[in-house]
Amino acid sequence: MQCAISRPHPNHSLTESFTHVRLRLRVSDRPSAGCYVFFLLSSDMVAVFGETAGKSALRRMRKIMLSDPVGRQILQDRPLINTTTVDIDSLGTLPDGTFGREYWQFLQDNNFSPDARRPVHYVDDVDLMYVILRYRQIHDLVHVLLDMPPNMLGEVLVKWFEGVQTGLPMCLVTAALWPYIRLGPKDRKKYHQVYFRWAVRSGWQAKFLMNVYFEKHWETDIADLRKQLNVELAPVPLRRAKKKTQQ
């Protein structure tokens, strides 16, 4: 299903609005350290930070997508991942080990819904608006590919993977700082000793996931898909833990 984005999202706030002017004064492409900390305090603020501080990265992501035939097709079709466009229940009927079944299981285990992804508010360019929306909507699919649970350590590692791939300041800053402000001593030790280097290496060597038409791979064996995308799993699987809200 195509995404017909031809004008700003109905929830979008125009750059000229007072709210957005204030945000742009507080968060530019080179925000201060104080702004970084402020925007790390909640997932809502992280989302705002991602939109207002990542325009250069979004343009680079679009350029990479345009240079790839599948990426170009995604930008042309503008597919969405939500309960209207994807029959989530049917994914649960797919054979064990398929990508779609693993995604369905991830949603069930964590009481998640693809509809929970936030709309884009502070990006004026229609194409860039879709790029960041697509990034958000495939976030849980990245968790599934990396076999990372949505606990805090898992989120940090996925953010490193995404940050290396996309260059989004929101990913890189949260990945760098969350281990020291949101991880406990045991998880921080595991992060340094086992997982950090893997997450960065995996992000560098994997195919650019924004150029993957995931909706066409629901029936693909997840092990085969990982091979196709050159996705390396963590050296030690993380203990799966449920969480109450989506990042």
In our burial notation (b when 16+ CB lie closer than 10 A, e otherwise), range 155-176 reads: bbbbbbbbbbbbbbbbbbbbbe
Q: Residue 140 annotated as binding?
A: yes
Q: Is 219 annotated as a binding residue?
A: no
For 98, list phi and psi in degrees, rounded to 5. -80, 155
Judge whether 139 is annotated as a binding position.
Answer: yes
The answer on whether 217 is annotated among ligand-binding residues is no
Give me the DSSP letters along the chain: -----SS--TT---TTSHHHHHHHHH--SS--HHHHHHHTS-HHHHHHHHHHS-HHHHHHHHHHHHTSHHHHHHHHH----STTTS-HHHHTTSPTTBHHHHHHHHHHHHT--GGGSPPP-S--SHHHHHHHHHHHHTHHHHHHHHT--SSHHHHHHHHHHHHHHH--HHHHHHHHHHHHHTS-HHHHHHIIIIIHHHHHHHHHHS--GGG--GGG-TTSBHHHHHHHHTPPPPSSPPPP---SS--
For residue 7, list its beta bridge partners: none
Residue ranges at the known binding site for Zn(2+): 139-140, 143, 155
Residue ranges at the known binding site: 139-140, 143, 155
